[in-house]
């Protein structure tokens, strides 16, 4: 009989290829898990060193990241490689084989009167003095850079997020893509929105723990990576358009700050150091 | 994606979609709580699978009524360019039905390792993580299970 030549293993493989599973209730899982996690934050280990707060912040951020990535299903292939660690115990960051890609936005027909950075989903254009009144924190501005060329406030997150956009110019990196923006600084209350920020890091990117004047942070270099925001309903929103370039993120008090666009870690650290 | 991996794995262990959903939810929450104990350098997938396996086995034990394995398969295997003839399609479907029936008739501990290893495509160490036993145990259960399947398929044919 011809069938005899087909091994059991081959028949199992053929069956596996045609298996139908019940649909994964991904949305329900995401909502239920997110709700449960909000109620019970992760138990971070307390390291026996003076930098306990630093580390526990790292653990919290990384835990939020890892679970966010695991639950959301935004990381497409099953064979997701988990390659990079943030260099500390208990900390993991995902390097999915496929980084979630932003949805392309329709090009704006006319240059926006709002100016630089408009179209980057940064929120409402405003001025620094006006922004101060809208934010639940006192914004920091970099002394190392002149006045920003664009100022935006966005909600969510709770407390608002401030973005400062800078054009290309002497001593600054070239503009990224056709955005006209060379450097982008974003700040928000990390304590009010602990899961607001997520980062999906491509396999070519590197992640390095750094300190900014004693504050904990990460330097993420290389592409691609994209940025996800945790919306209030538990969904993760991939930023429509993000610079997806070298990024320094760090925590200062209850603020989470991010500098995107610098070519080197030292440039980013110099700007970060000048924030006041 | 991990939610598919967790849900399907739990489904194969629990045998019911509702239990699998509860088990996957529980597993993600446990994983979140246990992240601090995750050892850097260890692969994430087996670690998550172990937690999923625990949750799913607990759920299965707690279930008052045990479900059979409600597995289904696509009615026809589409193989790209050459569409199989209706006869071949029917024959292939019958073959898969017979195999599925034979799998369902296995003892639970053997069935679980077969479906995880051969239908989900987990490797031996991942299968061991989900089943909560040693890799050697997985291997011996697998070989016993395959022998039982062969026997059963033979007697079906004969």
Q: What is the pLDDT of residues A87-121, one digit of tens each?
A: 211 123 344 444 444 444 444 444 444 467 766 77
**Contact between residue A107 and residue A179 where contact means Cβ atoms under 8 Å apart:** no
Both tokens of residue B35?
Answer: 């992240």
Nearest CA in chain A to B47: A82
Percentage of residues of chain A with pLDDT beyond 90: 14
Interface contact flag, B36 A16, Cβ < 8 Å: no
A73: tokens are: 């299903």
What does each C-alpha distance from A237 to A156, A223, A228, B21 come to in angstroms?
11, 19, 5, 24
User: Are the C-beta atoms of residues B6 and B19 closer than 8 Å to each other?
Assistant: no
CB A172 within 8 A of CB A239: no
A11 contacts in chain B (CB < 8 Å) = 95-96, 99
Any idea which of A36-40, A142-146, A209-213 has the lowest mean pLDDT?
Answer: A36-40
Using DSSP bridges, classify how beta strands A19-20 and B72-73 pair: parallel, antiparallel or unpaired.
antiparallel
CA distances from B51 to A38, A260, B56 (A): 20, 37, 9
Distance from CA of A78 to the nearest CA of B (A): 5
Cβ pair B45:A80 closer than 8 A = yes
- Six-digit token string for A230: 């945790």
The per-residue DSSP string of B47-90 comes to HHHHHHHHHHHHHHHH-SSPPP---EE-SS---TTSPPPHHHHH
Q: Give the integer Cα–Cα distance in Å for A94 and A168.
A: 31
Among A28-42, A70-84, B79-93, the range scoring the smallest mean pLDDT is A70-84
**B1 and A26: CB-CB below 8 Å?**
yes
**CA–CA dist A247, A256 (Å, integer):** 13
How far B147 CA sits from the closest chain A CA (Å)?
10
Are the beta carbons of A20 and B24 separated by less than 8 Å?
no
- Residue A130, pLDDT > 70, answer yes
State percent of chain B over pLDDT 70. 75
Nearest CB among A21, A42, A91 relative to B33 is that of A42
The answer to whether the CB atoms of A29 and B149 lie below 8 A apart is no
Paired strand residues for A220: A207, A247
| CB contacts, 8 Å: B25 with chain A | 29, 32-33, 36
pLDDT of residue A3: 47
Decide which of B6 and A65 is more confident.
B6
SS3 B146: helix
* Residue from the list A15, A63, A74 with its beta carbon closest to the beta carbon of B119: A15
CB within 8 Å of B1: residues ≥ 6 apart: A26, A72, A73, A74, A75, A76, A77, A78, A80
Cα distances (Å, whole numbers) of residue A19 to A26, A44, A259, B122: 19, 40, 47, 15
- Sign, CA dihedral B40-B46-B49-B53, equals negative
Distance from the B86 Cα atom to the nearest Cα atom in chain A, whole angstroms = 17
pLDDT tens, position by position, A150-175: 999 987 677 788 999 998 877 777 77
Chain B CB contacts of A95 below 8 Å: none
Which residues in chain A are contacts of B45 at CB distance < 8 A? 80, 82
Q: What is the DSSP string of A97-140?
A: SSPPPPPPPPPPSS--TT-TTTTSS--EEE-HHHHHHHSSS---
With an 8 Å Cβ cutoff, are B31 and A67 in contact?
yes
Residue in the structure block whose two tokens are 């929120």: A123
**DSSP-derived 3-state class of residue A185:** strand
Which residues of B are less than 8 Å from A66 in CB distance? 32, 35, 44
Asked whether the predicted pLDDT for residue B158 surpasses 60, the reply is: no
Contact between A224 and A214 under an 8 Å Cβ cutoff? The reply is no
What are the counts of helices (DSSP H) followed by strands (DSSP E) for chain A? 5, 12
Contacts of B35 in chain A (CB under 8 A): 42, 59, 62-63, 66-67, 90, 92
Nearest to B25 among A29, A69, A80 (CB): A29
Which of B17, B37, B150 is nearest residue A90 as measured by Cβ atoms?
A: B37
- Are residues A269 and A215 in contact, defined by beta-carbon separation less than 8 angstroms? no
Cβ atoms of B46 and B32 within 8 Å: the answer is no
Cα–Cα distance measured from residue A167 to residue A165, given in angstroms and rounded to the nearest whole number: 7
Q: Which residues contact A158 (CB under 8 A, 6 or more apart)?
A: A136, A189, A192, A193
> Rounded to an integer, what distance in angstroms lies between the CA atom of residue A222 and that of residue A66?
20
The pLDDT, as a whole number, for residue A186 is 87
CB atoms inside a 10 Å sphere around CB B157: 10
Q: Which two tokens stand for residue B127?
A: 């299968």
Whole-structure pTM value: 0.47
CB contact under 8 A, B36 and A36: no
Stretch B7-21: mean pLDDT: 87
- Residue A262 to chain B, least CA–CA distance (Å): 29
**Is there a contact between B21 and A25 if contact means CB atoms under 8 Å apart?**
yes
């Amino acid at each position: 009989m011809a069938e005899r030549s087909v091994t059991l293993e081959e028949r199992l493989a053929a069956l596996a290829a045609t298996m139908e599973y019940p649909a994964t209730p991904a949305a329900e899982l995401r909502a239920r898990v997110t709700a449960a996690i909000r109620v019970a934050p992760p138990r971070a280990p307390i390291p026996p060193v003076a930098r306990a707060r630093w580390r526990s912040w790292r653990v919290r951020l990384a835990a939020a990241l890892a679970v966010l990535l695991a639950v959301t299903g935004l990381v497409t292939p099953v064979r997701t490689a988990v390659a990079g660690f943030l260099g500390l115990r208990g900390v993991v960051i995902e390097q999915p084989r496929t980084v979630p890609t932003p949805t392309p936005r329709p090009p704006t027909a006319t240059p926006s009167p709002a100016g630089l950075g408009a179209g980057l989903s940064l929120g409402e254009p405003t001025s620094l003095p006006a922004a101060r009144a809208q934010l639940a924190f006192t914004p920091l501005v970099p002394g190392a850079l002149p006045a920003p060329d664009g100022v935006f406030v966005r909600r969510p997150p709770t407390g608002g997020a401030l973005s400062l956009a800078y054009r290309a110019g002497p001593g600054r990196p070239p503009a990224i893509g056709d955005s006209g923006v060379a450097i982008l600084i974003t700040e928000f209350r990390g304590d009010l929105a602990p899961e607001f920020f997520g980062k999906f890091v491509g396999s070519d990117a590197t992640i390095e723990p750094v300190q900014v004047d004693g504050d904990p942070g990460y330097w993420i270099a290389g592409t691609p990576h994209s940025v996800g925001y945790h919306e209030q309903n538990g969904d993760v929103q991939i930023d429509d358009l993000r610079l997806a370039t070298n990024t320094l993120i760090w925590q200062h008090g209850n603020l989470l700050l991010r500098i995107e666009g610098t070519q080197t870690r030292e440039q980013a650290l110099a700007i970060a150091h000048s924030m006041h | 994606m991990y939610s598919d991996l967790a849900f399907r794995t739990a489904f194969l262990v629990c045998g019911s979609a509702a239990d699998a959903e509860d088990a996957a939810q529980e597993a993600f929450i446990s994983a979140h709580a246990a992240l601090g104990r995750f050892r850097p350098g260890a692969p994430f997938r087996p670690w998550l699978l172990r937690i999923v396996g625990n949750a799913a086995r607990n759920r299965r034990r707690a279930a008052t009524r045990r479900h059979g394995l409600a597995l289904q398969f696509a009615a026809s295997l589409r193989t790209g360019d050459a569409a199989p003839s209706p006869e071949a399609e029917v024959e292939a479907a019958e073959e898969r039905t017979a195999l599925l029936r034979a799998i369902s008739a296995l003892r639970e501990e053997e069935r679980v390792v077969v479906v995880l290893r051969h239908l989900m495509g987990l490797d031996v160490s991942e299968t061991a993580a989900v089943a909560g036993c040693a890799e050697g145990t997985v291997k011996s259960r697998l070989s016993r299970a395959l022998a039982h399947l062969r026997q059963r398929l033979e007697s079906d044919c004969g």
